[in-house]
Structure 1
Amino acid sequence: MKQRIITLCYRKMIDANCSDEWSKNVFAATYQEFKMQAQFYNQQKKHTTYKQLIEEVQGANKLNFLVSAAIIEYLKELNDQVPDVVNNLGRSFLRFKNFQFEINKSDITNSASHVVAIYFMSQPLIWHDTVGDQMITSEKYDDNCEMIINQFRLSDNLGIYTLQTLEV
């Protein structure tokens, strides 16, 4: 029998219009960190936007990595749970193993233009089936050798990241 192991990727976009407290904190922290880190790449004060820095200043592509340090404590608050993703019962179920941070756009003179994305890569899941628009997955067996199943819908910001097929 073949078993399909998948990891999912959820993209969380964060901008000035975010309403939840966690996103607001990440927005503020990443914007402040961007302004601080951008100073090194903008010593002549010729550039105001992230796009200008990336296009015109050698090494400015490191800003994604440098600014990502500002979110580490906020990620710890999530306790490895991917935010916003719930199963068909409305419960959080998806745990993340890795993340990737990306600045989409920003401007050191206008916080309203700051937009970042966090990509959450899930722990491996066993993909059992798809029924209609619902995926059925499990993470592992419990102590009684029963599978804990989660049924959920893929969305615009949630998709399959990796797929591995194993013989069992």
Structure 2
Amino acid sequence: MPRTITLCYRKIIDASSGKAWDKLVFEDTYTEFRLQAQTFNPQQQYRSFGQLLQYAPGAEQLHFLVSAAVRGYLQQLAGLVPDVVDNLGRQFLKFSQFQFEIVNSDLLYKSRHQVAVNFFSEPLLWHDTVGPLLLVSAPGPAAVEGEVLTTMFQLQPFLTIYSLQNPA
């Protein structure tokens, strides 16, 4: 009986990110960070995100507040996790949840801005491991009754099995 897994892909976006989607997220999250940071830094005494977290009460809310700049871009992904492809080179991994976080930032130096979007996949059935590839399928009645369409992919950097549920 296959086990049910949920995957997590952590996409890091910074000034060196080259893809168009990444650049848009970088620019808009930096703009939003500078705007939202004013609430916690009215005297402009802190420069970095780390300083804000350490000295400005409530600054941990910046993760949530800045995440608003990302939500529209997530819709452009049509529910598919970026950068993760199967062994045929096609995007296949659907995400159902995400978590945004500011890794680092600086109010004066945009080049120090770095964010992460953690994508959590919809559940998958893990049937087997063939060499370095995981053989998975979407859960559903066909997965129990007979022939099932499968996907094979390799774990890559920043992609991990987030949760595992053994069959009952």
Question: TM > 0.5 between the two?
Answer: yes
More strand by share: 1
- Calculate percent identity across the aligned residue pairs: 48
Q: Is the 8 A contact 1:141 1:148 kept in 2?
A: no
Q: Is the 8 A contact 1:136 1:149 kept in 2?
A: yes
- Report Cα offsets for 1:48-81 as digits up to 9, x if no partner: 1000000111110000000001000000000100
- What TM-score results when the alignment is normalised by the length of structure 1? 0.95
- AA of the residue aligned to 1:165: N
Shift of residue 146, structure 1, vs aligned partner: 3.0
Measured on the aligned residues, the alpha-carbon RMSD in Å equals 1.5
- Report Cα offsets for 1:129-150 as digits up to 9, x if no partner: 1112111100145989531211
> 1-side partners of 2:39 and 2:4: how far apart?
43
Residue 36 of structure 2 is matched in structure 1 by 37
Residue 49 of structure 1 is matched in structure 2 by 48
- AA of the residue aligned to 2:165: Q
Residue 113 of structure 1 is matched in structure 2 by 112
Residue 161 of structure 1 is matched in structure 2 by 162
Residue 95 of structure 1 is matched in structure 2 by 94
> 1-side partners of 2:61 and 2:147: how far apart?
46
- What TM-score results when the alignment is normalised by the length of structure 2? 0.95
Structure 1 residue runs of 4 or more that deviate by more than 4 Å after TM superposition: 141-145
Structure 1 unmatched runs, 5+:
none
SS in 2 for 1:147: coil
Residue 150 of structure 1 is matched in structure 2 by 151
Structure 2 unmatched runs, 5+:
none
- AA of the residue aligned to 1:154: L
Residue 132 of structure 2 is matched in structure 1 by 133
> 1-side partners of 2:149 and 2:132: how far apart?
20
The size of the alignment, in residue pairs, is 166
> 1-side partners of 2:76 and 2:16: how far apart?
21
SS in 1 for 2:81: coil
Matched, 1:123 2:122: yes
SS in 2 for 1:148: coil
> 2-side partners of 1:134 and 1:145: how far apart?
22
SS in 2 for 1:166: coil
> 2-side partners of 1:23 and 1:81: how far apart?
15
SS in 2 for 1:23: helix
